[in-house]
Amino acid sequence: MSERTLPEIPTVADLPGKVRLRVAPSPTGDPHVGTAYMSLFNLAFARQQGGRFLLRIEDTDRARFRADSEQQVFDTLEWLGLTWDEGPDKGGPCAPYRQSERLDTYRPYVDRLLAESKAYECWCSTERLTQMREIQQKTKQPTGYDRLCLGKTREERAALPGFSETPVVRMLIPDDVELEFDDLIRGRVSAPRPDDQVILKADGFPTYHLAVVVDDHEMGITHVVRGEEWISSTPKHILLYRWFGLEPPQWAHMPLLRNTDKSKISKRKNPAARLTWFREQGYLPEALVNFLALLAYPPATNEDGTDREVFSFDEFSAGFDWRKVNPVGPIFDLKKLDWLNGVYIRGLSVGELASRLLPFLVDDGIVGDNPSLGELARLKAVTALVQTRMAHLSEAPPLVRPFFVPDDALEIAEDARAALGDNAAEVIEAAGRALGDIDDHGTSVLGSDSGWTAEAIETALRTAIVDGLGIKPKFAFGPLRTAVSGARISPPLFESMEILGKTSTLNRLAALLATL
């Protein structure tokens, strides 16, 4: 191919946004928590700078592709509030945003490199490459392609062992390849020398290394923010930008998330690596976003100069500075996340928390898909009792269930029954007599003038059991707690009885008494 017929490299038209950043997950299963981590830092900077945040789906790995994974990416990032301006589901000036729909885009770039002898075809079979690597490892040679196909025609290569009918295309890495580059987080960085990387696979799909450069250029990406595992690939990418006569973006390589044993967090070994897991476990999205920010960024600062670990995305974005990102791989400490989640749960209004609990209660069959106004009012009252007793929303069902099951369907837990003392029957009988005397005329606690209140219940029970039977307060009410909740540990007793109402409370006391 002559110089005159070389494919043109498109220039980027004026695109919206002062800066343009992207996250580019691969749809190969449940989204990795790292996708949210990278999205958070990309989005924080884009919003601070008045820029644009793009979502691109890198689905060129067809062997590991999963059709449902893309929707999971959309759903989990939307749940976290990490929303994008352009993407497969929203469109934009750089559509399409799926690499599998952009295959015609990559071929001219490959043809140009082949024509300029900056790339070459390689016919080596998988078996031959595996054998080559094994020999290199055994003889302690540098690993990498040995350039057997370089300079050979198809016929010349076919005469040698390990030939494959369909070639791949490899970069021809020059001796003077630049190995250092500037990083927004790490300063001047040095990477190892790359080998002749495959840029076009035998199936016609580009590899990550070519596609990411082409797509980032054509989508006007100004800052590439990704994990530190890509540092070693950056010289290849800078080289491709140089060969195509393009301006490289700025680079920011984030520290990898690590398990407590310092290993890289992976979906295979750690369920918390799955982004969907956090929703299933009942974490609040704002707590997870706060936690992910703290993994690689210092706390917010109060007016008096003290640190504050609880902050919103808007606060994080407003003061964002790449120089503050800690390049040391952070430990993914779930205990810290549990603490943060509890703080956020306690900070919600009762009504808001009740609405967030509802999906977990529906899934558990405690309430139906379309709860009545009475059920919603009762849920709000129960939520006020349990708000301080949860670290996860998923802990709500066993706490809430006793308030929604029929009296004759309440199950008494074995550990609660085993803990009942010898005087349980005496306590329950005394409680029944005392509570029976309370006037419950009027509306319920949920509406209000009834004499059946937590204060009246507590007064009656303390008089009958603590004073009347001489039982110490810490031991006096255990049998009653078991009777009304079925458990040893439950929401506050007197308030629980108020919500259940007089009839239900007395029914449950009688039911347990009958079994003693």
Question: Catalytic amino acids?
Answer: 267
Rounded Cα distance, 303 and 3, in Å = 63
Rounded Cα distance, 31 and 69, in Å = 7
Nearest to 377 by CA among 447, 451, 455: 447
505 phi and psi, to 5 degrees? -60, -50
- Cβ neighbors of 41 (< 8 A, separation 6 or more) are 225, 252, 254, 296, 325
Rounded Cα distance, 337 and 202, in Å = 44
Sign of CA pseudo-dihedral 319, 49, 256, 34: positive
Q: Which two tokens stand for residue 13?
A: 């038209």
Nearest to 509 by CA among 391, 429, 454: 429
User: b vs e for 311-336, b when ≥16 Cβ sit within 10 Å of the residue's Cβ?
Assistant: bebeebbeebeeeebeeebbebeeee
Residues in the chain: 516
Distance of CA 103 to the CA centre of its chain: 30
- Cβ neighbors of 469 (< 8 A, separation 6 or more) are 423, 426, 427, 430, 476
502 appears as a binding residue in the annotation: no
Whether 445 contacts 453, CB under 8 Å: yes
Rounded Cα distance, 505 and 399, in Å = 16
- Rg over alpha carbons for the chain, rounded to the nearest Å, is 32
Nearest to 149 by CA among 136, 135, 159, 134: 159
Rounded Cα distance, 302 and 429, in Å = 56
CA angle 217–219–225, rounded 5-degree value: 75
Q: Which two tokens stand for residue 4?
A: 């005159």
Whether 225 contacts 254, CB under 8 Å: yes
Whether 113 contacts 69, CB under 8 Å: no
Distances (CA, A) of 432 to 62, 70, 404, 427, 429: 68, 58, 21, 9, 5
Judged by DSSP in three states, 23 sits in strand
Distance of CA 172 to the CA centre of its chain: 39
Q: Show binding-site residues for ATP.
A: 267
